[in-house]
Structure 1
Amino acid sequence: MMNQYDCMIIGGGPAGLSAALTLGRARRKVALVDNGTNRNRVTQESHGFLTRDGIKPQEFKNLASKDIESYPSITMMDQTVIEIIKDDITGLFLVNTSENKTYVTEKILLATGIQEEFPLPQIRQYYGKSLFSCPYCDGWELRDKPLAIIAENEEHISHMTKLVFNWSQDLIVFTNGHQLSKKIQNDFEQKKIKAYTNAIKDLHGDDGNLSSVELEPGDNILRAGGFVVPSFYRPNKFAKQLNCQVDENGTIMTDGAGRTTAAGIYIAGETEKGGPSSLMIAAAEGFKAASSINMDITIERF
């Protein structure tokens, strides 16, 4: 069949791109399907990836795509997958897209990642430019600046504040109407970290650069950036629909090498844990899952 593949990779972030490269080099017929909705598309710079520190995510993607173009067995598709159905008789998968295309594949690699939900919709205006969620990725650029920590869960507040304190000690915590325990308040006071438990009315700034946080009583607190703790969700239900088992923490269960509990279905990157990951770790997990896919195909066909 013209549209039949050894493996279809759903998602073209670092995990999917790495997996495609690995499978292409293993002479597998691969389709990489991506619709450009990866969550780091709003980021100005990506950090912590050796030889590419500070690169723009789109440039990283372009370079990876250029690498992949060297392997004729890889097809890249700008499409959106809307349905994956397993044929119980053949064991193959039918992949349907919103462009009314149908493809057949022996293996599926889910690398669609996750998306963020924020405690305030206004955060989107600043996210990726002056508000971030990962200090390891962006703490260096905000070092020693007056920063805001915006989070609502006390455990998350404590963790993020302690972590960011390594890069800047000029911190103010905003809980958006959620109270803090006496212990956390005392911990912050000892480090001269002020915490506001009032609801946040608005964020102010220009062109994505935060300048202040406005509270409900009318106080306007000057800040030059900061970190937020979003909640995360998987943007599709493919893993559930394909009967991949999930543990009590929401992590998709695997053998540690990308194989899920559903035959023929593999995962890589942020899709597995439902939480954020670095570019380097995601790319490494893409390589690992691709190696499992290639080995399984090899054994099954030998």
Structure 2
Amino acid sequence: MSDAAAVYDVAVVGGGPAGLSAALNLVRARRRVLLIDSNRPRNSATLVAHGFLTRDGISPLELRKLGRDEFLAYEGAEHRMTLAQRISRVDGGFHIACEMRGKASEATARTVLVATGLTETLPVIDNLRAFYGTSFHSCIECDGYDKRDQALAVIGEFPDLAERALLLSQWSDDLVVFTNGADVVTMVEEDALDARGIAVDRRTISGIVGDRDGVTGIRMTDGDVVDRVGGFVRPGWSSELHYLDDLDPDVDADGLLVDDGHGRTTIAGLYVAGESAAPGPQQLIVAAGSGARTAATINRDLVGGIRDLADAVQ
């Protein structure tokens, strides 16, 4: 169905749950939709995803494949496995320049939906990445149940660490908070955690101890090993939106796109869904709902209102 001269109604940048949900709803609204995605999700290290109704325990990559297959079954749907490099204004919409592995392509669309989500940066701790997605996770709501009643570590270098530990206490009462030397837990917070039986260790971490069977402990730089079998880490999150530099949309203090609550950004015709506008990672089903909501907004805006029609016939 690809046609280089065609103008798509919507270009959806990002093929996670938000982008796929939006693309599916838009193509069902009889819109010509281009899905631009490299299939490199933030949660690719996670073996199974939880909390998605009817798909609990599915592989995130399998969920994406099922979503793409459903989308591509409709007339007007197209998917390109590539990366958006630059989006700029042109008459009637936007020009999207893409490139991946040296192969360039371009497209023109009346509207653009940004759904590229977040990029994670883990603390610099030996062996942490080796156990990330199996023994260690980042989303407590997603994976807390599967770590229930275990001896867990809560690792992070951000001020929300104490709140995350408190949340995790719903699933386990054997928790140790590790700040990795960062001053991110106040004494008031430490006292509150202590009252819940949660210890705070402010030492710097040397590495994660474990083998093929999993994690056995957290090694500190002083040589001490604290027995743990896994836990949760608070990564740094960033939204890589360099491809929007020509448009210069408003972003918040976290670098996320500002929207009106319905997916409209400060640039007419540019929309956002999922984690590109939300503070921190979302559960997959929440991101999918965000995509469906923004898709409805885009379709209504493309149809136009009764006043637009009245103005056009005068």
TM > 0.5 between the two? Answer: yes
CA RMSD of aligned residues (A): 1.9
How much has 1:31 moved relative to structure 2?
A: 0.5
Q: Which moved more, 1:177-186 or 1:155-164?
A: 177-186
Question: Matches of residues 61-80 of structure 1 in structure 2 within 5 Å?
Answer: 61-80=64-83
TM normalised by structure 2 equals 0.89
Matched letter for residue 73 of structure 1: G
- For 2:87 and 2:292, the matched residues in 1 are separated by 23
How much has 1:202 moved relative to structure 2?
A: 1.0
The one of 275, 284, 290 aligned to 1:285: 290
Q: Is contact 1:129–1:208 with CA below 8 Å preserved after alignment?
A: no
Q: Is contact 2:150–2:229 with CA below 8 Å preserved after alignment?
A: yes
How much has 1:22 moved relative to structure 2?
A: 0.6
- For 1:208 and 1:243, the matched residues in 2 are separated by 48
User: Per-residue displacement from partner, 1:249-300 (whole Å, max 9, x unpaired)?
Assistant: 5442212111111011000000012521111111111111111111111118
Question: Matches of residues 175-190 of structure 1 in structure 2 within 5 Å?
Answer: 175-179=179-183, 180-190=185-195
User: Per-residue displacement from partner, 1:19-43 (whole Å, max 9, x unpaired)?
Assistant: 1101110111110010012111111
Matched letter for residue 34 of structure 1: D
- For 2:85 and 2:5, the matched residues in 1 are separated by 21
Matched letter for residue 112 of structure 1: T
- For 2:77 and 2:225, the matched residues in 1 are separated by 53
Per the alignment, residue 95 of structure 1 pairs with 96
The one of 203, 209, 219 aligned to 2:208: 203
Residue 140 (str. 1) matches residue 141 (str. 2): no
Same amino acid, percent of matched pairs: 36
- For 1:252 and 1:222, the matched residues in 2 are separated by 41
Matched letter for residue 124 of structure 2: L
Matched letter for residue 178 of structure 1: A
Three-state SS of the structure 2 residue aligned to 1:15 is helix
Q: Which moved more, 1:220-229 or 1:61-70?
A: 61-70
How much has 1:226 moved relative to structure 2?
A: 0.4
Per the alignment, residue 312 of structure 2 pairs with none
Residue 84 (str. 1) matches residue 87 (str. 2): yes
User: Per-residue displacement from partner, 1:130-152 (whole Å, max 9, x unpaired)?
Assistant: 11112110000000000001012
User: Per-residue displacement from partner, 1:24-82 (whole Å, max 9, x unpaired)?
Assistant: 10111110010012111111111111111111111111211221122020001111111
Question: Matches of residues 216-235 of structure 1 in structure 2 within 5 Å?
Answer: 216-235=221-240
- For 1:65 and 1:218, the matched residues in 2 are separated by 48
How much has 1:158 moved relative to structure 2?
A: 1.1
- For 2:112 and 2:228, the matched residues in 1 are separated by 45
TM normalised by structure 1 equals 0.93
Q: Is contact 2:271–2:294 with CA below 8 Å preserved after alignment?
A: yes
Q: Is contact 2:87–2:244 with CA below 8 Å preserved after alignment?
A: no
Matched letter for residue 101 of structure 1: S
How much has 1:229 moved relative to structure 2?
A: 1.1
Q: 1:290 to 1:187 in 2, by over 3 A?
A: same
Q: 1:119 to 1:208 in 2, by over 3 A?
A: farther
Which 5+ residue runs of structure 1 have no aligned equivalent? none
Per the alignment, residue 25 of structure 2 pairs with 22
- For 1:263 and 1:128, the matched residues in 2 are separated by 38
